[in-house]
């Protein structure tokens, strides 16, 4: 009887230990799978402002198209309740409420009862100031480079509890860009194509060496002929002729046949890009202008357009 009693007690203890271990394992697995955390969420955003949240946001508004793309890429589409009139990707964004242009509309934003607004500090400066005065939580991210995109994804992922999704997106982006760079690394420096980046044609505008578009071209193996200037500036027709680019990357337009316009410019018939017909206008403008989760795809697309034989 004593043996049976002790055996029963030991069995009960073992079963209890097994149950506790299984419960602990399930809790850990659920935590990892959903990125759930406890306690206060604190980050410092790209405006230098500290944002504190006591829970992951469930009603999110985006004030820029690139941030909208990040939110959807992180799997947060169902939590997005409002976007701007310029947000058009991915397709599901068409079902979301519109809160105005890039400056937004305070009344419409507040009416949607957001617990997080994702904005860009400089571009949305006025509306961000107004929302913060109303105690609406705002996260400012300013991706103006590939590294800036990575940081933006990390910040948004952290405050929304989607860290693992963010890590995956960044890893895939880095792998794609690395693959492109390995291919273009085979091109000798003296054989790399000189590129004129046309971002506006009336008047003529280009992108300087410190811009996001310049980085895309460089990563794709091209050399920006306007790398010596900063930002986006007016550029003369004569300077383009003098620099004699091998390729022209131009923004498409609904109103102007850009390729035809380029071909009829005085003196441009001597430019290599025009002579060879290497005028690239068929790349989605939003793809190369929006610093977001599609940036790696943009690098690959530009590289394929510049060096089709490598791909």
pLDDT at 232 exceeding the cut of 90: yes
Give the model's confidence band at 207: pLDDT under 50 very low, under 70 low, under 90 confident, else very high: very high
pLDDT in tens, 248-268: 999 877 678 899 999 999 999
- Rounded average pLDDT over 163-179: 98
**What is the rounded CA–CA span in Å between residue 131 and residue 110?**
8
The three-state DSSP-derived secondary structure of the chain is CHHHHHHHHHHHHHHHHHHHHHHHHHHHHHHHHHCCCCCCEEEECCCCCEEEECCCCCCEEECCHHHHHHHHHCCCHHHEEEECCCCCCCHHHHHCEECCCCCCCHHHHHHCCCCEEEECCCCCHHHHHHHHHCCCCEEECCCCCHHHHHHHHHHHHHHHCCHHHHHHHHHHHHHHHHHHHHHHCCCCHHHCCEEEEEEEECCEEEECCCCHHHHHHHHCCCEECCCCCCCEEECCHHHHHHHCCCEEEECCCCCCCHHHHHHCCCCHHHCHHHHCCCEECCCCHHHHHCCCCCHHHHHHHHHHHHCHHHC
The confidence band for 6, taking pLDDT boundaries of 50, 70 and 90, is very low
The span from the CA of 78 to the CA of 131, in Å, is 23
Asked whether residue 36 carries a pLDDT value surpassing 70, the answer given is no
Q: Which pLDDT score, from 0 to 100, does residue 19 have?
A: 41
Q: How confident is the model at residue 244 (pLDDT cuts 50, 70, 90)?
A: very high
Percentage with pLDDT > 90 across the chain: 80
The token duo for 140 is 């400012």
pLDDT per position as a tens digit, 50-96: 999 999 999 999 999 999 999 999 999 999 999 999 999 999 999 99
Q: How confident is the model at residue 173 (pLDDT cuts 50, 70, 90)?
A: very high
Q: Looking at per-residue confidence, does 220 or 253 come out higher?
A: 220
Average pLDDT of the chain? 89
Taking alpha carbons only, the member of 187, 283, 204, 203 closest to residue 243 is 204
Beta partners for 207?
232
Q: Where residue 32 falls among pLDDT bands split at 50, 70, 90? A: very low
Domains of the chain: 41-161 (3.40.50.1980), 188-310 (3.40.50.1980)
Write down the pLDDT at residue 253. Answer: 73
Percent of the chain with pLDDT over 70: 87
Residue 38: pLDDT above 80? Answer: no
Lowest mean pLDDT among 132-146, 251-265, 281-295: 251-265
All residues at 6 or more sequence positions from 187 whose CB lies less than 8 Å from its CB, including other chains: 221, 307, 310
* Residue found by looking up tokens 């242009």 in the block: 101
With beta carbons less than 8 A apart as the criterion, state whether 220 and 184 touch. Answer: yes
Between vectors from CA 269 to CA 267 and to CA 275, what angle results, nearest 5°?
155
pTM, rounded to two decimals: 0.85
pLDDT tier at 237, thresholds 50, 70, 90: very high
pLDDT of res. 102: 85
pLDDT of residue 15 exceeding 70: no
Q: Which residue has the higher pLDDT, 252 or 226?
A: 226
The answer to whether residues 42 and 52 touch, using CB atoms and an 8 Å cutoff, is yes
- For residue 159, pLDDT over 90 is answered with yes
Model pLDDT, residue 35: 45
- Using the predicted structure, report yes or no on whether residue 21 has a pLDDT greater than 80: no
Predicted confidence (pLDDT) per residue in 118-128, tens digit: 999 888 989 99
């Amino acid at each position: 009887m004593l043996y049976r009693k002790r055996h029963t007690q030991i069995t009960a203890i073992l079963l209890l230990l097994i149950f506790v271990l299984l419960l602990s394992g399930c809790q850990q697995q659920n935590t990892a799978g959903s990125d759930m955390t406890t306690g206060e969420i604190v980050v410092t955003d790209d405006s230098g402002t500290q944002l504190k949240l006591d829970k992951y946001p469930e009603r999110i508004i985006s004030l820029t198209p690139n941030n909208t793309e990040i939110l959807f890429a992180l799997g947060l589409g169902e939590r997005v309740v409002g976007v701007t009139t310029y947000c058009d990707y991915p397709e599901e964004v068409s079902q979301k409420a519109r809160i105005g242009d890039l400056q937004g509309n305070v009344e419409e934003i507040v009416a949607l009862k957001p617990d997080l607004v994702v904005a860009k500090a400089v571009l949305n400066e006025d509306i961000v100031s107004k929302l913060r005065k109303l105690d609406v939580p705002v996260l400012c991210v300013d991706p103006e480079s590939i590294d800036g995109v990575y940081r933006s994804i990390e910040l948004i992922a952290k405050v929304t509890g989607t860290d693992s999704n963010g890590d995956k997106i960044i890893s895939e982006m880095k792998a794609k860009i690395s693959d492109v760079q390995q291919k273009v690394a085979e091109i000798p420096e003296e054989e790399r194509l000189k590129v004129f980046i046309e971002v506006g044609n009336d008047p003529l505008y280009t992108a300087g060496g410190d811009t996001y578009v310049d980085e895309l071209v460089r990563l794709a193996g091209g050399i920006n002929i306007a790398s010596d200037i900063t930002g986006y500036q007016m550029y003369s027709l004569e300077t383009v002729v003098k620099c004699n680019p091998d390729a022209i990357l131009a923004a498409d337009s609904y109103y102007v046949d850009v390729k035809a316009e380029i071909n009829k410019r005085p003196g441009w018939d001597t430019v290599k890009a025009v002579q060879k017909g290497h005028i690239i206008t068929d790349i989605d403008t939003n793809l190369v202008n929006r610093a977001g989760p599609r940036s790696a795809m943009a690098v690959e697309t530009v590289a394929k357009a510049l060096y089709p034989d490598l791909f």
